[in-house]
Amino acid sequence: MTATASIQTGPKITNGVNVTALRDTIEAVKGNAEIAKFNFRATNTWLGGEKNRSTIKQFSGALQEHRIDGNAFVVDNGEAEVLLGEDRAPNPVEWLLHALIGCMTTTTAYHAAARGIAVEAIDSRIDGDLDLRGFLGLSEEIRKGYSAIRVHMRVKTNAEGATIKALTAMSPVFDTVSRSVPIMVNIETC
Amino acid sequence: MTATASIQTGPKITNGVNVTALRDTIEAVKGNAEIAKFNFRATNTWLGGEKNRSTIKQFSGALQEHRIDGNAFVVDNGEAEVLLGEDRAPNPVEWLLHALIGCMTTTTAYHAAARGIAVEAIDSRIDGDLDLRGFLGLSEEIRKGYSAIRVHMRVKTNAEGATIKALTAMSPVFDTVSRSVPIMVNIETC
């Protein structure tokens, strides 16, 4: 028996994303669609007035339960003074913007990595218009939720803006919100 | 001139909600619709891989800017290990559930208060189904976001479950998500 030199290669990492693991996941899902089925959950307790608190913990996916003994994230909803609260936490429609811009950012990083596109920075701003007459029940014609959302995303990459824009549209929260509310997405590459 | 007894009455509070201020808001909006126009905002910075951070601060509404010198809420997105992250924060689709259940809860408290319905407790659970094949681009027929969401809300009140269910549907985030994803809402009163 002769000694052979062995080269230990680690996973391929692009944009901080483990592309080897991502490709392994895709192959696994192709072999068994049940692996792709996820169920996410939260519980929530009202704390009086505008205050309530969610606990985000266990979820299922890839044929198993996760965070059984792990992290429990405890997060609050509030309202600012003008909406009759004490401004102790973002309000639910602000949390929706956080979910949306976060999902578009993570999705861009992951899908760019899968395509071999290096991304060095992503900085965004997002805003949404909401007419309180809908919530107050003063008009049937005015929506209770957002009527329009705008996203401006500045991405440091060599890829074209149109390519990055297509990646953002793979986002699960973008899928949910954009089928309900017009979202104007502006991508600036640099 | 005779002295008259004056009774100093404070605002009417129901469910921890200042109903006097709520009614004043409704009357003000009826007099000038511009008061009802709100614009909520966030900025977001990618921190590599699955990590990004939102800052939620200034917004406009009731004809002025708010939180100019006030609170800035700094909140993170993450992903669990099975989704190639380090599980340092809820992921965007979990934040969406937090926004939705929180909005339904706050809306129930406010609209019940406006109708003189006392609510003593609200405890909820929410979950959503998501098939990762949509996000991974493995099927055009499978949505990238949630395909179904279920809400179970336990409300301590003398009102009927159907009354409470109608109140939850006044929620702005419910409006946004329910036009895109089927949401099954189950109300249990006690």
Chain segment B146-176, per-residue pLDDT in tens: 999 999 999 999 999 999 999 999 999 999 9
Question: Which residue reads 């959503």 in tokens?
Answer: B128
Q: Which chain A residue is nearest to residue B130, measuring alpha carbons?
A: A38
The answer, yes or no, to whether residue A1 has pLDDT greater than 60, is no
Contact list, A124 vs chain B (CB under 8 Å): 43-45
Q: Which one-letter amino acid corresponds to residue B13?
A: I
The answer, yes or no, to whether residue B63 has pLDDT greater than 80, is yes
**Is there a contact between B89 and B83 (Cβ–Cβ < 8 Å)?**
no
Chain segment A60-77, per-residue pLDDT in tens: 999 999 999 877 999 999
* Angle, CA of B75, B87 and A50, to the nearest 5°: 35
d(CA A4, CA B37): 72
- For residue B4, the model assigns a pLDDT of 56
d(CA B29, CA B37): 9
Chain segment A86-143, per-residue pLDDT in tens: 999 999 999 999 999 999 999 999 999 999 999 999 999 999 999 999 999 999 999 9
Shortest Cα–Cα distance, B187 to chain A (Å):
14
What confidence category does residue A51 fall into, taking pLDDT thresholds of 50, 70 and 90? very high
DSSP states of A127-166: EEEEEHHHHTTS-SSS-SS-SEEEEEEEEEESS-HHHHHH
- For residue B70, the model assigns a pLDDT of 78
Mean pLDDT across A9-19: 94
**Is there a contact between B126 and A39 (Cβ–Cβ < 8 Å)?**
no
Number of inter-chain CB pairs under 8 A, A vs B: 360
User: Does the CB of A83 have a partner CB in chain B at under 8 Å?
Assistant: yes
ipTM of the assembly? Answer: 0.96
Inter-chain contact A59–B73, Cβ cutoff 8 Å? no
- Mean predicted lDDT score pLDDT of chain A: 95
DSSP state of B21: H
**Is 0.90 surpassed by the pTM of this model?**
yes
Mean pLDDT across A52-59: 98
Mean pLDDT across A34-59: 98
Helix (H, G, I), strand (E, B) or coil at A58: coil
List, in sequence order, the alpha helices (H) in chain A: 19-31, 92-114, 132-135, 161-168, 172-178
Nearest to B130 among A40, A122, A177 (CB): A40
Nearest to B106 among A79, A97, A133 (CB): A79
Mean pLDDT across B116-142: 97
Chain segment B3-19, per-residue pLDDT in tens: 555 666 789 999 999 99
Determine how many CB atoms are found less than 10 A away from the CB of residue B18. Answer: 19
Q: How much is the CA Rg of chain B, to the nearest whole Å?
A: 21
Query: Which of A55, A63, A84 lies closest to B25 in space, CA to CA?
Result: A84
Facing residues of B188 across strands? B154
Count the residues in chain A: 190
Facing residues of B126 across strands? A42, B151
User: Does the CB of A63 have a partner CB in chain B at under 8 Å?
Assistant: no
**Is there a contact between B78 and A75 (Cβ–Cβ < 8 Å)?**
no
* Percentage of chain B modeled with pLDDT above 70: 96
What pairing do the DSSP bridges indicate for beta strands B148-157 and B183-189?
A: parallel
Chain segment A162-179, per-residue pLDDT in tens: 999 999 999 999 999 999
Query: Which of A97, A159, A35, A63 lies closest to B43 in space, CA to CA?
Result: A97
Long-range contacts of B4-9 (CB under 8 A, 24+ apart): none
Structure-block tokens of residue A164: 């990055």
**Is there a contact between A110 and A17 (Cβ–Cβ < 8 Å)?**
yes
Contact list, A87 vs chain B (CB under 8 Å): 67, 70-71
Mean pLDDT across B47-63: 98
